[in-house]
Amino acid sequence: MPTHTTAQADFVVIGAGMAGASVAYWLAPHGRVVLLERESQPGYHTTGRSAAVYLEAYGSAQVRALTLASRDYFLRPPAAFGDHPLMTQRGAMMVAAPGQEAELQAHAQVLAGLGLRHERLTPEQACERVPVLRPQRVSAALLEPDACDLDVHAIHQGFLKGMHQHGGQLVCQAEVQALQHASGQWTVQTSAGNWQAPVVLNAAGAWAEHIGQLAGAQSIGLVPYRRAAFTFALPADVDASHWPMTYSAGEDWYFKPDAGLLLASPANADPTEPQDVQPEELDIALGIHRIEEATTLTIRRPAHTWAGLRSFVSDKSLVGGFDVQAPGFFWVAGQGGYGIQTSAAMGEACASLARGEPLPQRLLDFGLTTEALSPRRLDRQR
């Protein structure tokens, strides 16, 4: 699009990661949607760097409601999402080292409170499931059989394809540079031209606070945190394909089978400026050290290393709602470490609210509320 033209839309969504793609998907049947992405491909940042896990009891009550409300959608998606399952049962096993029993007990209580399936395992049973665990480092274990692997690429592409089928438009290499509001319309200036719409949705991931500043919106106090991950090969005689995702009750390491390798992380969370973040050698070394301590594995050289930014507001729940001071400016932010597993319900919820509609009953039934999503709650917490 030549830079001097200004095209009209009903909704402009900024950022084509999982958050932007899902809300654009749910909005597209209701109006003209333009989804703007700075990079040459959507999903280049955090969305393309996740561990692809669906953990039902992870995060705050709001996060859990969004996660549980997304499950049916991932299990029975429409045709745009392809023929392959989006979710595959893997199971997850929390392992408590000596001294971490209380953390495991607290997690068991959360699972019980939510009525989610879980099973206490003896250290022997845990080591039978994942034989590389060092028995002396396992004091207790908890299995969550319904934890799943997610096909992140298929979910993301399904949202984009579904949006496209309803007339929505994805524009890549369109960096939003300025936002102006006048006469009930936002003008969105980008490196690929200008768009106008009464409603702008900010799904810019780690850059959401910056986009908020461009719009004169109230800060939501979003902080991006760096997390490293790596894959490594297992000894030839170890078949890990049926291992659950295995994670420490102290939240300082996890690993899961991934296409014949193990994917692992030191589960670090280091505050970082928004950027194309790269893995720090120290983070990878820490991950290797912690996994070698917990298991009998020797990790000589990772096959692949990467890092991504998980962006949180102070209460670690997601933010979906109109800004307090910038009219027609809607936040879809703070996806933290749950932006994939919550994406179906978060997109649906935000699309309803951005259209001025109430939350669908389906989502209310999971305990989700407009107030729990709204950026206004952050005001009250300040």
Ligand X SMILES: Cc1cc2nc3c(=O)[nH]c(=O)nc-3n(C[C@H](O)[C@H](O)[C@H](O)COP(=O)(O)OP(=O)(O)OC[C@H]3O[C@@H](n4cnc5c(N)ncnc54)[C@H](O)[C@@H]3O)c2cc1C
**Residue numbers of the site for ligand X (CB under 6 A)?**
14-20, 36-39, 44-47, 49-53, 175-176, 203-207, 211, 227, 229, 265, 308, 310, 335-341
Long-range contacts of the stretch 312-316 (C-beta < 8 A, 24+): 312/222, 312/223, 312/225, 312/336, 313/220, 313/221, 313/222, 313/223, 313/378, 314/221, 314/378, 314/381, 315/60, 315/377, 315/378, 315/381, 316/59, 316/60, 316/63
Q: How far is CA 150 from the centre of its chain?
A: 11
Instruction: Please tell me the distance from the alpha carbon of residue 1 to that of residue 7, in angstroms, as a whole number.
Output: 9
Q: What SS3 state is found at 13?
A: strand
Contact 170, 42 (CB under 8 A): yes
Q: How far apart are CB 102 and ligand X at their closest, in Å? A: 25
Q: Which is nearer to ligand X, 145 or 274 (CB)?
A: 274
Would you tell me how many other CB atoms lie within 10 Å of the CB of residue 2?
7
Q: Which is nearer to ligand X, 13 or 126 (CB)?
A: 13
Q: Which is nearer to ligand X, 168 or 337 (CB)?
A: 337
Token reading at 133: 């665990």
Q: How far apart are CB 142 and ligand X at their closest, in Å? A: 18
Q: Which is nearer to ligand X, 96 or 203 (CB)?
A: 203
Q: Which is nearer to ligand X, 51 or 299 (CB)?
A: 51
Q: How far apart are CB 197 and ligand X at their closest, in Å? A: 15
Q: How far apart are CB 67 and ligand X at their closest, in Å? A: 8
Q: Which is nearer to ligand X, 104 or 340 (CB)?
A: 340
Burial annotation 51-87 (CB, 10 A radius, 16+ → b, else e) = bbbbbbbbbeebbbbbbbbbbebbeebeebbeeebbb
Q: What SS3 state is found at 180?
A: strand
User: Locate tokens 């745009």: which residue?
Assistant: 80
Which is nearest to 355 in space by CA: 181, 183, 197?
Answer: 197
Q: How far apart are CB 136 and ligand X at their closest, in Å? A: 29
Q: How far apart are CB 236 and ligand X at their closest, in Å? A: 27
Q: What SS3 state is found at 158?
A: helix
Q: How far apart are CB 122 and ligand X at their closest, in Å? A: 27
Helix boundaries (H) for 49-100: 61-75
Q: Which is nearer to ligand X, 130 or 206 (CB)?
A: 206
